[in-house]
């Protein structure tokens, strides 16, 4: 999702500062009211009323008052009851005061609704039976929450482009869609269809999600109308600026033609053209290795933002400053684009399964490096990820969690959903082979092994779903693999013992679980594979013989030299902090 990722995480570990935008965002001059705990969180326990409706359509009208950093919204939301219900419950920051609520176009008295903590409850004039529809209107306005450090702290970014014109963006993954529109702030809260209408000064553009339906002129302002199907709730975004546009098309290997758009600041035209040239190779990689671009009837879109970046369905945010890092592609752009498959096409049911977005999305960077340039770049990526894996908490808890529960290193796996998630996928690929591995990914993403444009829809999945897919595709039970790598915190440890001319190996897991992971061992210049079916194996290797366990780095395991490096990094960080405190 948003880039709590390689360069930033490694930079933080090394005590470096990362530049997040070409032009700094302006600090807010308005003192912001505190967000409630409900608004700060995304996901978690779902109100029963939200489980009783299906979200059909969100018609969202936004007017930006840029000089005063204010937003006026008019939302019309249509639902179908999946079970009888007498109320509609939504999420909306209470710091955006509501002026009117309507139900099927009829204004509701103030007594019919309340929003004390950011959970908007609307009593319906009459209870809905299963299958009945209702349209709820919510009119509101105010100063939306300003992100202090987007995209890690969600909210609006009010910045100024190099030419002095306004440059505005939203990034709301962590805190959720309720920071600027009334929604169901859950991974499963996707509407079937969303229309956004964004009114801005006429000299600014407002690129958005999906397909541009039209632009209405109103003298000093213009309204941009976009339409998107089945978007992630937090992937709905507003972008405003003095953009220029690069357009092109990609002839898909699946027979369709995919529009490509890049909205960039005019000052960066040369760099933008170079970045845009990388769109087609990325599309070719993903379509070859994973499957059809899921939103080919809409667009592959990117917009330059004053924050680092984030996946926004069909209009990904890019703020990496056109940096080069020696890998021959922009890693941030490629990571966010990966989320069109892992996050937008297949969406986790619960934040606890967030590794399905981030682990797979992160593995796409080394995989793309291998696709472009071979094994050296591939293993370079994996080594950097390995240096950042912390193994303090399990990647998956098995419980319903909020976004913060997962990303907070005090309560959840934090960065390990990226780094360890990608590394375990590398190990799985070595274990089951490329054919089974990529088949399992296609089934996870599309729900079928033979995806083609028109025969799949965005879907939800859980960790268990993926485990079941791997077992079905391989015809074997790999529960032991996922138990150790996802539900244990510690990595498996390879223990070596010498008995004369015999070198014995056995796997040691955190809770003593079986771990029949095959192990390659190089003895001299010959590599042999130990089945390790009971977790044990041995080779004949007299003392002095060259022995390398796992010579081709297939298995993610405890590595003492990595842990020693991580301890050293922490000591350096503490020493710098102590020196800073003294000065």
Cα–Cα distance between 349 and 356 in angstroms, integer? 10
Query: Which of the residues 418, 446, 466, 485 is marked catalytic?
Result: 418
Cα–Cα distance between 367 and 359 in angstroms, integer? 12
Neighbour order of strands in the sheet with 502-508: 493-499, 502-508, 536-540
User: Could you tell me the maximum CA-CA distance found in the chain, to the nearest angstrom?
Assistant: 89
Query: Which of the residues 261, 336, 340, 443 is marked catalytic?
Result: 336
Phi/psi region, residue 343 (left: phi>0; alpha: psi -120 to 50; beta: rest), is left
Cα–Cα distance between 185 and 208 in angstroms, integer? 20
- For residue 407, the tally of other CB atoms under 10 A from its CB is 23
- For residue 510, the tally of other CB atoms under 10 A from its CB is 15
Cα–Cα distance between 68 and 414 in angstroms, integer? 36
SS3 169: strand
Cα–Cα distance between 409 and 405 in angstroms, integer? 8
340 is annotated as an active-site residue: no
- For residue 580, the tally of other CB atoms under 10 A from its CB is 8
Q: Where would I find the H helices in 127-199?
A: none
Per the CB < 8 A criterion, the answer to whether 419 and 362 are in contact is yes
Per the CB < 8 A criterion, the answer to whether 32 and 70 are in contact is no
Cα–Cα distance between 365 and 514 in angstroms, integer? 31
216 is in an annotated binding site: no
358 is in an annotated binding site: yes
DSSP annotation of 497 reads E
Per the CB < 8 A criterion, the answer to whether 431 and 519 are in contact is no
487 is annotated as an active-site residue: no
339 is in an annotated binding site: yes
DSSP 300-337: EEEEE-SSSEE--TTSEEE-STT---SSSS-HHHHHHH
Per the CB < 8 A criterion, the answer to whether 87 and 123 are in contact is yes
Binding residues: 335, 339, 358
What are the catalytic residues?
336, 418
Binding residues for Zn(2+): 335, 339, 358
């Amino acid at each position: 999702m948003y880039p709590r990722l390689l360069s930033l995480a490694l930079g933080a570990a090394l005590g470096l500062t990362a530049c997040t935008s070409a032009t700094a965002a302006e600090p807010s001059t308005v003192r912001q009211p505190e967000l409630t705990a409900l608004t700060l969180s995304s996901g978690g326990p779902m109100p029963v009323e939200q489980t009783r409706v299906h979200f059909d359509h969100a018609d969202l009208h936004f007017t930006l008052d840029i000089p005063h950093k204010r937003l006026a919204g008019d939302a019309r939301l249509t639902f179908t009851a999946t079970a009888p219900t007498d109320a509609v419950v939504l999420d909306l920051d209470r710091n955006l005061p509501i002026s009117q609520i309507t139900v099927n176009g009829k204004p509701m008295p103030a007594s019919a609704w309340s929003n004390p903590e950011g959970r908007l409850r609307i009593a319906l004039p009459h209870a809905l039976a299963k299958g009945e529809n209702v349209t709820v209107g919510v009119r509101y306005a105010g100063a939306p929450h300003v992100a202090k450090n987007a995209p890690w702290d969600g909210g609006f970014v009010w910045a100024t482009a190099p030419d002095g014109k306004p440059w505005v963006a939203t990034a709301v993954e962590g805190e959720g869609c309720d920071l600027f529109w009334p929604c169901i702030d859950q991974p499963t809260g996707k509407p079937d269809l969303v229309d956004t209408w964004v009114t801005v000064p006429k000299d600014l553009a407002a690129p958005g999600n999906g397909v541009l339906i039209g632009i209405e002129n109103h003298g000093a302002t213009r309204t941009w109308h976009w339409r998107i199907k089945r978007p992630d709730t937090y992937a709905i975004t507003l972008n405003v600026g003095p953009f220029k546009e690069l357009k092109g098309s990609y002839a898909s290997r699946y027979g369709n033609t995919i529009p490509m758009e890049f909205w960039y600041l005019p000052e960066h035209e040369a760099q933008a053209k170079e970045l845009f040239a990388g769109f087609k190779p990325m599309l070719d990689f993903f379509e070859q290795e994973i499957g059809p671009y899921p939103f080919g009837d809409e667009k592959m879109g990117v917009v330059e933002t004053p924050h680092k970046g984030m996946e926004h369905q069909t209009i990904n945010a890019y703020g990496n400053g056109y940096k080069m890092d020696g890998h021959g592609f922009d890693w941030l752009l490629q990571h966010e684009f990966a989320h069109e498959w892992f996050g937008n096409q297949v969406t986790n049911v619960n934040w606890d399964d967030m590794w399905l977005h981030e682990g797979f999305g992160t593995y796409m960077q080394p995989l793309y490096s291998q696709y472009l340039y071979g094994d050296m770049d591939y293993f370079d990526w994996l080594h950097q990820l390995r240096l950042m894996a912390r193994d303090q908490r399990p990647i998956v808890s098995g419980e319903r969690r909020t976004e913060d529960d997962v990303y907070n290193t005090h309560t959840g796996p934090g960065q390990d959903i990226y780094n360890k998630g990608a590394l375990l996928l590398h190990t799985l690929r070595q274990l089951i082979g490329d054919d089974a591995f990529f088949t399992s990914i296609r089934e996870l993403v599309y729900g079928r092994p033979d995806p083609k444009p028109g025969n799949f829809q965005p879907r939800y999945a859980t960790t268990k779903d993926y485990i079941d897919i791997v077992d079905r595709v391989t015809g074997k039970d790999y529960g032991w693999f996922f138990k150790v790598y996802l539900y244990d915190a510690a990595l498996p440890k390879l223990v070596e013992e010498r008995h004369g001319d015999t070198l014995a190996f056995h796997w040691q897991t955190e809770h003593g679980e079986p771990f029949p992971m095959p192990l390659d061992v190089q003895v001299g210049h010959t590599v042999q594979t130990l089945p390790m079916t009971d977790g044990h194996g041995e080779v004949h290797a007299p003392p002095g013989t060259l022995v390398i366990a796992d010579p081709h780095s297939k298995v993610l395991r405890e590595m003492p030299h990595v842990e020693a490096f991580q301890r050293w990094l922490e000591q350096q960080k503490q020493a710098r902090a102590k020196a800073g405190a003294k000065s």
